[in-house]
Structure formats: C-alpha cells, structure tokens
C-alpha cells in the first residue's frame, strides 16, 4: 500500500513541473525538457530549493527513487506525485527527452 499518488507517464500534463531525482550524469544523458534535477540523496539538504506552492511530478530511471522521494516531499509539506516507470517508461511512450551532452538523449 502506498500513501502517495502515482501516475503513469501518459497522465503527466504537458506543462507539469518535473523533478528528476537521478544523479547528474543520468540527468545530463537524457531528461525531460524543463525538468529540474535534485538527486535523491541531496533532497534532504536541498528541499528548500523547491516551491511549496508547486505540484511536482517526480521521476527517476524506473520508479524506485521517485517512490522514495515522493512521500519524503509530502511529509515535508511539498506536493508531489510519483511518475510510475520513470524515464524508461517516458522514452517507451515516445515522449520528448533532451540531453546536456550534445549526444542523442538516452536513459541511463
Ligand atoms: O531510478 S531507479 O531508482 O528506479 S533505478
């Protein structure tokens, strides 16, 4: 049983605020356009960078780390929804990714 909301990639609105909790090398290789990156292990230190009035759609590679980040954020007063399947599912669904490396975006 989970005490947080989980949506599929198809349910994420086009204008969603995406929080990607993967490590920077993963984020740089391929991420959702406009996503912000705070790795899961930095979230306790950096959570105040987030806006308590914004709904965040939290994503990682396959859904493991986002399922930990989402209840943590909720517990600290932030609005967070877990994106099931992560960037792998996002790519499978043919949704846009960009890279910071100059290479074709990939999910790693
Ligand atoms: O990104 S992951 O924790 O699902 S491998």
Q: What is the ipTM of this complex?
A: 0.89
**Per-residue pLDDT tens digits for 7-44:** 999 999 999 999 999 999 999 999 999 999 999 999 99
Asked if residue 48 has pLDDT above 50, the reply is yes
d(CA 89, ligand 1 centre) in Å:
12
State the catalytic residue, choosing from 38, 60, 67, 87: 60
Burial 9-43 (b: 16+ CB within 10 A, else e): beebeeebbbbbbbbeebbbbbbbeebebbbbeeb
pLDDT of residue 2: 60
Catalogue the long-range contacts made by 43-49 (C-beta closer than 8 Å, 24 or more residues apart).
43/69, 43/72, 43/73, 44/72, 47/73, 47/76, 47/78
What's the pTM? 0.96
Contact 31 CB / ligand 1 (< 6 Å): no
Mark whether 87 is an active-site residue.
Answer: no
Percent of the residues in the chain that have a pLDDT greater than 90, as a whole number: 96
Write down the domain spans for the chain.
6-92
CATH 3.40.250.10 holds for 6-92: yes
One-character DSSP codes across 24-79: HHHHHHSB-TT-EE--GGGHHHHGGGS-TTSEEEEE-SSSHHHHHHHHHHHHTT-E
Tokens of 67: 């399922």
């Amino acid at each position: 049983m989970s005490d947080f909301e989980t949506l599929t990639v198809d349910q994420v609105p086009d204008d969603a605020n995406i929080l990607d909790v993967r490590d920077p090398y993963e984020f740089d290789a391929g991420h959702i356009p406009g996503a912000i990156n705070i790795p899961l292990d930095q979230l306790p230190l950096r959570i105040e960078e987030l806006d308590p009035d914004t709904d965040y759609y939290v994503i990682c590679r396959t859904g493991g780390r986002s399922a930990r980040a989402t209840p943590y954020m909720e517990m600290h007063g932030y609005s967070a929804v877990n994106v099931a399947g992560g960037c792998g599912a996002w790519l499978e669904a043919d949704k846009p990714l960009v890279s910071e490396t100059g290479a074709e975006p990939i999910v790693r």
